[in-house]
Chain A
């Protein structure tokens, strides 16, 4: 068991090339903040990218930032904030949920896990903002894809292919993202006391308006108390975030209040409290309980989320809350059994989607497919792709199995 800590892309390449020659698998690691996601690995060696760090290009006016893959996300976010910019897709921090430290994680990990946050609804995920990559494939060969401009269709978009590949296709050495101006103002409109179905209807109404709601979440009773240090109280709360220039935000919040006047008691939340609420929703803090109780992340059509949960509650003890207008369902299985077959059967009945077991004991992760199993033709295609990038199965073998 050896840990290799390269500091240059060429050291990454020679390390992978040697691993290929010896046919000895590598676990690919940044800060390890998401190490607990996926099937537990038994790789012979570890390739630690945390010393492959630093911003290599930042052109605020061109909306482009490039950095080495091991650059801390926190450093990137600080740098961008100094220029009034941000990664608009709001990458979540898995640290607290998985029992680790908050504020860890690398830019490479953001791409590898295709992270996003509550603004996913409006702004997309990491895959929507990645512009270019330099990587080393599991063949031990360095290659690049994409570029350092925001509009580019030259050749296959292999940068997107790296999103959600969890280190199984290639080792990233340098990544380039599109960056965007941060909103000048944010205000959250909270509606109190709605049950899940009424909340789904209210969120649909808000998203159907031209108020440009950037995030819509629903925290049922008791869950609400677990964000922003309890600032919201215990009662169920439905949250709508509006961002932009001051006068526009004020106008749109007023429009939403008129639209939702009959839905329930309304409250405006702004400033630091609003930011904390969305950070905690983003990071799934309500379930950050230092336990190994299974937590699922389910993506489905927004109108179907609460209906699937209703069916699930008939058969299992679960806690649930909703982001993305109800299209992202976070589930904690209270009795300790992941109930994978039950859950996956249910959401297929509710229009389809996919579920990832983002937290579970290693024994569960070893026994169950953590990522959504694919139909045979698609699974075969994915396997052929893996083969084309990593024919010796050197990179994070089995993690996505």
Chain B
């Protein structure tokens, strides 16, 4: 990653910087254009802080018309654009480019409509994820996807990344909770997909926009579904002597037909770090700690707690605590939620990875990680969204030691290769961005990547929107569109005919 190649800056754009800044001030008057280097510094990276780059200019539009005019202006003049929400991406999706306008959507910060009868909220993209819940919780509703950055991350950014969170096994990802968007294409056209109704008409462009990492369009409005808050939630804190037993317990819970609201696992280094930090009362003599949260009506929660407890016991749990109060439930979560800062305490830096694996492969992947940990001489702690197989290894390193960042990145890449090898994927919820861009060929063939880039061509044929992200190598749309028909008018192959 530290040696990552980004698209070569366009000389013509760089030369015309003053003119572009002046034109941006005409399109977005007032405080909406930032061009001084010291002021742009705040935007030079996102949540993947190992990477920094000042943009050409920062533009903060306030209206859809301004977004449309900025994009059309840039499209007509071949100027690149990087969209940005709150800048909490963990994969470098909002990393600026030297020759690109950084289009920051944070001033789109209003909730436009709250419709309780239809259980939808219409929000501008800069509204925070938690801001939606805050707006509706007095009526007992909430917005389900809850990425750990929910206090800061924007709903527009959630659409771009298809954000998840600890509750997504039961309640779905962003893609399952967004009903509609308004977006602006690179050519300035404004398009609406879906709305307050279920399923958009025609091709599922909403589905492909969600998780497209800012490469296809700029979201200017989001319609989300809100849910009634469950009556109550209780949690179990279960320790196992081996990760195999913990994994089998998760499989058996699902096998019993139970989809918990949350199901998280931590390995020994993560348990230790978390306990040292927040003193949550975690057992320190176990290899795997499982938090299972059940939500719903009290009678259902109590019923399921009994079932899960029995399953845990059957799988050899050595400790099983059941929350008896809201305070105790929150204390179970305190260690897990503090896992990242806790690891930050025992190591100067850490690098958070995000692969998904078939859950049954967990022991094999953990063993592989231990080997890699020895090979690279770096520690690793694991937190795991156990229900859906989404693994977050935290690699411990010290950026002040020359070469350690590179080693951490190589270690991380090897972990992701291992995830793909056992039938998993490169990223479960953090996105590809620049971080995993060059690993895409581990999972996809050139034909797979070419077809993804053709989707891009339908939205942005000049590759001006967020280039250098997701795809390891950009191919021109004209080249991608060429048909390679071998042999011209071939007869149909010899297969059964009727």
Contacts and interface: CB of A to CB of B under 8 A. Distances in A.
A89 to B, nearest CB: 11
A131 to B, nearest CB: 10
B458 A301 contact: no
Interface string B421-460: 0011111111110001000100111011111101111110
Contacts of B353: none
Interface in A357-393: 371-372, 374-375, 377-378, 380-382, 384-385, 387-389, 391-392
Given A128-B176, A164-B203, A371-B201, A18 B493 contact: yes
B255 interface: yes
A106 interface: no
A2 B492 contact: yes
Tell me which of A62, A169, A183 has the highest count of chain B C-beta atoms within 10 A of its own C-beta: A62
B492 A4 contact: yes
A20 B485 contact: yes
A154 B193 CA distance: 22
Given A114-B199, A377-B190, A145 B452 contact: yes
B9 interface: no
Contacts of B210: 157, 160
Contacts of B161: 153
A381 B259 contact: no
A15 B117 CA distance: 50
Interface in B381-429: 385, 388-390, 423-429
Given A139-B483, A160-B208, A378-B193, A181 B258 contact: yes
Given A18-B492, A61-B360, A303 B140 contact: no
A398 interface: no
B110 interface: no
A3 interface: yes
Contacts of B299: 247-248, 250-251
A160 B204 contact: yes
B23 interface: no
Contact of B205 (A152, A181, A381): A381
A51 B455 CA distance: 30
Tell me which of A60, A124, A301, A380 has the highest count of chain B C-beta atoms within 10 A of its own C-beta: A301
A18 B358 contact: no
B239 interface: no
B201 A141 contact: no
B416 to A, nearest CB: 10
A354 B201 contact: yes
Nearest to A51: B496
A151 B168 contact: yes
Nearest to B252: A61
B356 A149 contact: yes
Nearest to B119: A207
A152 B300 contact: no
Nearest to A213: B228
A36 interface: no
B198 interface: yes
A6 to B, nearest CB: 6
B458 A385 contact: yes
Contacts of B389: 62, 149-151
A6 B457 CA distance: 31
Chain B: interface size category: 35 or more
Contacts of B445: 143-144
A11 B495 contact: yes
Secondary structure at the B interface, as helix, strand, loop or mixed, is loop
Contact of A21 (B162, B251, B481, B488): B488
A244 interface: yes
A182 B458 contact: no
Given A4-B492, A114-B199, A210-B140, A156 B259 contact: no
Given A149-B389, A151-B388, A152-B428, A353 B483 contact: no
A302 interface: yes
Contact of A18 (B190, B228, B491, B496): B491
Interface string B443-483: 11101111110111111000000000010000000000101
Contact of A163 (B204, B212, B428, B455): B204
Contacts of A17: 485, 490
Interface string A131-174: 00000010111111101111111111111111111000100000
A150 B169 contact: yes
Contacts of A164: 199, 202-204
Given A156-B212, A300-B197, A21 B118 contact: no
Chain A: interface size category: 35 or more
B228 to A, nearest CB: 5
Contacts of A352: 195-197
Contacts of B430: 153
Nearest to B442: A154
A155 B440 contact: yes
Contact of A153 (B229, B359, B431): B431
A212 B385 CA distance: 24
A127 B297 contact: no
Nearest to B428: A151
Given A149-B388, A154-B426, A388 B202 contact: no
Given A6-B495, A148-B423, A127 B455 contact: no
A389 to B, nearest CB: 7
B107 interface: no
B358 A148 contact: yes
Contacts of A208: 116-117, 119, 228
Interface string A275-313: 000000000000000000000000111110000000000
A194 B264 CA distance: 46
Contacts of B492: 2, 4, 15, 18-19, 22
Contact of B360 (A59, A120, A163): A59
Contact of A381 (B207, B458, B481): B458
B393 to A, nearest CB: 15
Interface string A207-229: 11110100000000000000000
Interface in B302-354: 303-304
A385 B300 contact: no
A392 B481 CA distance: 11
A343 interface: no
Contact of B196 (A60, A140, A212, A351): A351
Interface in A32-72: 59-64
A180 interface: yes
A158 B455 contact: yes
A346 interface: no
B155 to A, nearest CB: 16
Interface string B148-180: 000000000000011010001100110110000
Contacts of B259: 180-181
A150 B228 CA distance: 24
Tell me which of A140, A245, A250 has the highest count of chain B C-beta atoms within 10 A of its own C-beta: A245
Contacts of A61: 251-252, 254-255, 359-360
B189 interface: yes
Contacts of B485: 17, 20-21, 140
Nearest to B423: A148
Interface string B131-148: 000000000100000000
B231 interface: yes
18 contacts: A4-B495, A11-B495, A18-B491, A21-B485, A62-B360, A143-B451, A149-B388, A151-B356, A152-B356, A153-B430, A161-B204, A181-B257, A209-B228, A251-B299, A302-B117, A351-B197, A352-B196, A384-B458
Interface of B: 115-120, 140, 161-162, 164, 168-169, 172-173, 175-176, 185, 189-193, 195-205, 207-208, 210-212, 216, 228-231, 251-252, 254-259, 296-297, 299-300, 303-304, 356-360, 385, 388-390, 423-432, 436, 440, 443-445, 447-452, 454-459, 470, 481, 483, 485-493, 495-498
Given A3-B497, A181-B257, A301-B118, 13 more contacts: A18-B491, A21-B490, A114-B204, A147-B443, A151-B389, A161-B207, A244-B296, A244-B300, A250-B299, A300-B196, A371-B201, A378-B205, A385-B458
